[in-house]
Structure 1
Amino acid sequence: MNGLPAITITEEVMREGMQIESAGISVADKIRLLNALSRTGLKRIVVGSFAHPKFTPQMADIDRIIDGLEPVDGVTYLARAFNAKGRERAARHTPPLTQEVDVPRLHCHLSDIFVRRNYNRSQADEIAAWPAIVSRAAESGATAAGIGVGAAFGSNFGDFPGDDAAVRMLQRQATLWDEAGIPVRSVFLSDPMGWVMPHVIDRQLRRIVERWPAIDSVRLHLHDSRGLALTSTYVALRALDERHRVELDTTVGGIGGCPYGGNGRATGMAATEDLVNLLEMMGVDTGVDLDALVEFAWDLERVIGRPVNGQVSKAGPHPVASRAYSTELPVVETMEEARHFRLGMGVIREPRRPWRAS
């Protein structure tokens, strides 16, 4: 489809997804999942995070998981680190991890309660760190900078300052970069509590690119607590154009969530397989193997012991061309029988065709 931005999918199931699942999932299962994920055609995979096991016990074995990684050429493996110690640990695994050199960025959460619960610091602490970041960037000769807000669309804890707050906070950050003579080229919007709505993200992104026309890179981390992440992603893509690059964080199966946000496993994200199916139907060649993603989602369900949230792993991709269903397909009723799109008509236990033959 013409007019769309360049799209990059960053797969977060092994970090964002696993951090909300049982800490008892075996290292062997995680390694097997990670290596299977590497063979799906996804090009950016977050393998986990270097977080203190006291706060995120699901990541306690991240070093062993990386040791079991079988890297695939052309895949960039990343890990999230939230402090200097975490970054030091990540550096010891580089390669296979890639330590991306991003533009210096200012960031702040709009929910003070959330940032206290999640990072054990305040919104004021985040803002207080800005001058040092700008100073280091100027001293290093940075030629571009980023701005960003977390809890960009709302808060479960009643402390959201309103729809205009995101742009106001971004403006405060941009002013510091302007004073340092460093142009703003990227923006990051994250939604840890799943408040994103299509009409709001459309308005926000259009205001952002109008106010800062030099911005050509947008990263979105959208959660799905209210079922609007994929719709909002589509609207975001239409609010941008070919001048932009957009990075979309998703998880296979749509699992994920922060334990400090109030919704637990109900938070979720847009399912990677659902996004890939949408993009492919829009004419975007993602290079991702949808069948492999579906197989991964089924294996993921076995590992976590519950159904995942995504839809394409249940009903399959749109059955176009060679995927069209056989006209001999019997009545399909159960979730198990719906898997005939991959497993064949043999999964239908009592084949019934009550209609008249044509």
Structure 2
Amino acid sequence: MFRTALGSRVHDENGRSYLDFFAGAGALNYGHNHPQLKSSLLLYLADDNIVHSLDKHTVAKRHFLEKFQEVVLSPRGLDYKIQFPGPTGTNAVEAALKLARKVTGRQTIVNFTNAFHGMTLGSLAVTGNSMKRNGAGVPLNHTVTMPYDNYLDGRTPDFLLFERLLEDSGSGIDRPAAVIVETVQGEGGLNPASAQWLRGLADLCRRHDILLIVDDVQMGCGRTGPFFSFEPAGITPDIVCLSKSLSGYGLPLALTLIRPDLDVWEPGEHNGTFRGFNPAFVTAAAALDFWTDERLQKETLEKGLQVRQALNLITAEHSDVITGVRGRGLAWGLVFNRPELAPRVCEAAFERGLLMETSGPEGEVAKLLPPLTTSDEELTEGLELLAESVQAVCEKQPA
């Protein structure tokens, strides 16, 4: 029964401490109750500033929009209109899909194997996991699934099938409105797409007049190093979905970033009661202070290298059950050859005071998402606990 949390640690009601390498499934990139963000939030609330405002203009909203433009968009040469679609990541995705269909007049959306984009019907339709899709209870239509990077183990050239289907009028595939992609598939098993593959996808979309949507809900806000996960590939998506760590404090907030000429919404056509949560604007603006220089990005990449090296050592010691290490930045996973082993490792880690989760189509990946602000000492401690947990699980396996 958890009670308090600070930084990379949470405490239960009996005072036991746990290292949090789950971080709200990526919603706590700056850790729990970061003092800088908490101070801004408490000051805002203490002065009776507005909390709920529907779509009214507020000082908090203005400050966030101005700072997001100044700190994030302008330095990267990105020109987007900013839509507040609703409070969560799936709301950002739903708005993106709906807008792409409205702009193009087409219905089909292309998604990729092992993708995860949310739990509402539109987002589920472009999600690969069969268990989650079955929960819809209705047919999930108007989508076509294509192989993600390296899905076929390099046996065919990138986009050979995709391009052929687009060019063949007899393929039975309607011309798509958009493609939606994660640059690193988090829930799908920590599958990173190469920069070359992403550039190829962007080029294909451009040549065939298909909108490119990047779902950066879990891997955005610095999880892979840079603020946007697509930056190293040098691509500019037509639409970007952001949420999770956007508020920096675990408060619900989501954005759909839209290429300006795509903003064809009619007034009130896509509205909602909680589209802009003012306390989240306050903490989100404060969190942007982490991005006024390159320090956090550099530290994240350095820590990611430390994690990768530690996971490689664990893999070398248990190569009979671990088939690989996947990830980027501070999102990493150990891939087990038997799906039941990953949750056992997470259970053993919990017993030792480490919080983590599983991912992948069969839950076969033990997944690490430590806060970006995790100290070197905490990172070392957590990786040692993980190594002990893997060892403990392996010792229980039949010879």
TM score, norm. by length of structure 1: 0.33
TM score, norm. by length of structure 2: 0.30
